[in-house]
Structure 1
Amino acid sequence: MARAPFAATAVSLPMGSQEVIQTAWNTKTRALPLAASAGALYAGRGFALATQAANIADAKLYVLSAGLGLVDINRQVPLYGLTVSGGHAESVAARVTDEFDAGAWFASLMSGAYSDQWGDAFGQGSGRVLIALTRPYAEMVGKSLNELGPQALARLRIFGASLASALPVTLAQSVAPYDDRLDAILPGTRADFSQRAMLHFVRLVATKRDAYDRDADYAAVEAAIGGVAAPDRPRRPRRNDAEIVQLILARLQTQSGIARILRALRDEEGVACEQSRFSRLYRVAVEQREVA
């Protein structure tokens, strides 16, 4: 996503209770200037895979936004910098002085200026509703999804790794049965696992079946990956932020381009670093280099 001005970031928020922070953020986003359509602000392989899946299925595409809610990619929105994931400067949880409730945060966003409602996605005439989630986002949207009626939930398919403990128990049956065997069929990174699984599902099932039988859908998935062995994953050393910034600075002496340097650190240095974290550290390294 394009870089947001300071006034549109979590860091610009005051410290306070979650209710205070929610009100402050919704007030702030309403006052921000519109920048572009939501779809134009997002980049990266995961978003590209989700877009590809939507195009194949001829389906409407939404972004699950930690700053704006459930956003139609064609909606005009402001730039912002906020996440619900921990360990980031942009994490809204760091501004909340009591215990952060990701589900309540998302409910607040859905009453904001830019969010659609689940009823819009599950509306009349829609078929299966496919949602690609990481654990932090599963914690954010699980409660509101769980409040949908049984007819809507029967059409819900969720894609992601290790989501069981992050979602309400009643949503476990909605999680498609993908695991590391997917890497042998549609390779990628842990960061884009959920989008890869969703794309595989669309190619395999969603365009070939008119009925929305969950058991039949999942049986087709199991048949596709059942005879496949998961590839061995290289064990990469975990580096702290300062170490990764130094590695990026060294690379910037002879290389340019965030994607190229990330790939080099993964393949040549064996560094484990999730893409959004690397993007943040890359910006830090570039700023340090400009000051030096």
Structure 2
Amino acid sequence: MTLVITACTNRKRKPVSDSLHMAALPEADLPNLADDWARRLARERARFRGDEIYGGRSFREAIAAARLLDARLMVVSAGLGLIDAEASVPPYACTVLIGAPDSISARIIGEFDSAAWWRKLNQASPFAVALHDVASRNDGLICAALSEAYIDMIAADLLSLPRTVLARLRLFTRAPADQIPATLRDFLMPYDDRLDGPDSSNRGTRSDFAGRALRHFAEVIADNVDARDAHAHAEAVSHALEGWRLPTQFARTRHDDAALLDLIRANWDAEGGSSSRLLRRFRDDLGIACEQGRFAQLARIVRRERA
């Protein structure tokens, strides 16, 4: 069986209890914070399938790719550890992103190390499974669509896989190749900004780039019995993108938060309340500059206003 591995998303489709907001935890050193968090996870009665909890385009693209490849979908979760997307788990709010709401780093006394958090979380979480065990029980491709932050977090797990298992890894990311551990670069699929150019039928934002690249791979390059090695797959990706043009670069106008909120409210209905489509409209149609994280926070304000 093929494995598809994707990252959790900050957007949750189920309500999160007050106790499972990372911001609700008292500050502690990393081991004690992870233990406190794991106890709260275990006590939470409200549980849903993982694929019913996570929202956002990147997760939808991973689901689509898993279906195309007849694959088992796994989620790298900063709050739960590595989980099966069909597992029954509680909704939660925490992230490894620095400065974000419910950031883990804001609750840790001392220096925050996402890889150390990942190791401790997978030991303490009642829902986590070991990547080594899951990957070793399957003999198909291991297709991982991850951001740079999540690659950093789980790199040690990937690098500890037996060589014959690691050889089945196909990595999809927008992270620069020189920021990825050297051993993992051999398995990086060469998707680039052409995925957002005029010849692509699956354009989007940088935050969902990895998921969209994975979906293209599942649709055009590979299937669930594909025995080609990583080099052959990389060549196939390069051939598929050959002749595709890069996106046109625009000079976009910047606005303060108040002006952006007014623009979001004015355009909300036109995009059906989808923040990802709205951000694309702002950038491509209206020529407005806004960083993804900042836009998501402002869109959440408008979503609450209209609820």
Instruction: Tell me which amino acid in the other structure corresponds to 2:298.
Output: L
Q: 2:171 aligns to what SS in structure 1?
A: strand
The 1-side partners of 2:209 and 2:303 are apart by 28
Q: Is it true that 1:259 corresponds to 2:274 in the alignment? A: yes
Could you tell me which of 14, 19, 22 is aligned with 2:34? 22
Instruction: Tell me which amino acid in the other structure corresponds to 1:211.
Output: A
The 1-side partners of 2:259 and 2:24 are apart by 27
User: Paired residue for 1:154?
Assistant: 167
User: Paired residue for 1:64?
Assistant: 76
Instruction: Tell me which amino acid in the other structure corresponds to 2:184.
Output: L
Q: 2:83 aligns to what SS in structure 1?
A: strand
The 2-side partners of 1:252 and 1:52 are apart by 30
User: Paired residue for 1:187?
Assistant: 203
Provide, for residues 4-48 of structure 1, a one-character-per-residue CA deviation record: whole Å limited to 9, x for no partner: 232111101111221221122112211112331100011221111
User: Paired residue for 2:108?
Assistant: 96
The TM-score, its normalising length taken from structure 1, stands at 0.87
Q: Is the 8 A contact 1:249 1:285 kept in 2?
A: no
Task: Tell me how far 1:253 sits from its aligned partner.
Answer: 6.6
Q: Which runs of 4+ in 1 moved over 6 A?
A: none
Provide, for residues 103-140 of structure 1, a one-character-per-residue CA deviation record: whole Å limited to 9, x for no partner: 11112222211112113431334311001011111111
The 2-side partners of 1:230 and 1:106 are apart by 36
50 and 227 in structure 1: CA distance in 2 versus 1, 3 angstrom threshold: same
Unaligned ranges ≥5, structure 1 = none
Could you tell me which of 2, 7, 20 is aligned with 2:19? 7
The 2-side partners of 1:34 and 1:109 are apart by 20
Q: Is it true that 1:206 corresponds to 2:222 in the alignment? A: yes
Q: 2:218 aligns to what SS in structure 1?
A: helix
139 and 187 in structure 1: CA distance in 2 versus 1, 3 angstrom threshold: same
The 2-side partners of 1:218 and 1:46 are apart by 22
Provide, for residues 269-290 of structure 1, a one-character-per-residue CA deviation record: whole Å limited to 9, x for no partner: 613232x553433334566x59
Instruction: Tell me: higher relative CO, structure 1 or 2? Use CA pairs within 8 A at least 6 residues apart.
Output: 2
Unaligned ranges ≥5, structure 2 = 1-11
The 2-side partners of 1:251 and 1:209 are apart by 45
User: Once superposed, what is the RMSD of the aligned Cα atoms?
Assistant: 2.4
Percent identity reads 32
User: Paired residue for 1:170?
Assistant: 183
User: Paired residue for 1:280?
Assistant: 297
Q: 1:258 aligns to what SS in structure 2?
A: coil
The TM-score, its normalising length taken from structure 2, stands at 0.83
153 and 163 in structure 1: CA distance in 2 versus 1, 3 angstrom threshold: farther
195 and 250 in structure 1: CA distance in 2 versus 1, 3 angstrom threshold: closer
Instruction: Tell me which amino acid in the other structure corresponds to 2:135.
Output: F
The 1-side partners of 2:195 and 2:99 are apart by 28
Task: Tell me how far 1:229 sits from its aligned partner.
Answer: 2.2
Provide, for residues 164-193 of structure 1, a one-character-per-residue CA deviation record: whole Å limited to 9, x for no partner: 354322212121111112223232211111
Q: Is it true that 1:134 corresponds to 2:147 in the alignment? A: yes
Could you tell me which of 204, 216, 230 is aligned with 2:246? 230
The 2-side partners of 1:172 and 1:101 are apart by 22
268 and 66 in structure 1: CA distance in 2 versus 1, 3 angstrom threshold: same
Q: 2:193 aligns to what SS in structure 1?
A: coil
The 2-side partners of 1:208 and 1:54 are apart by 10
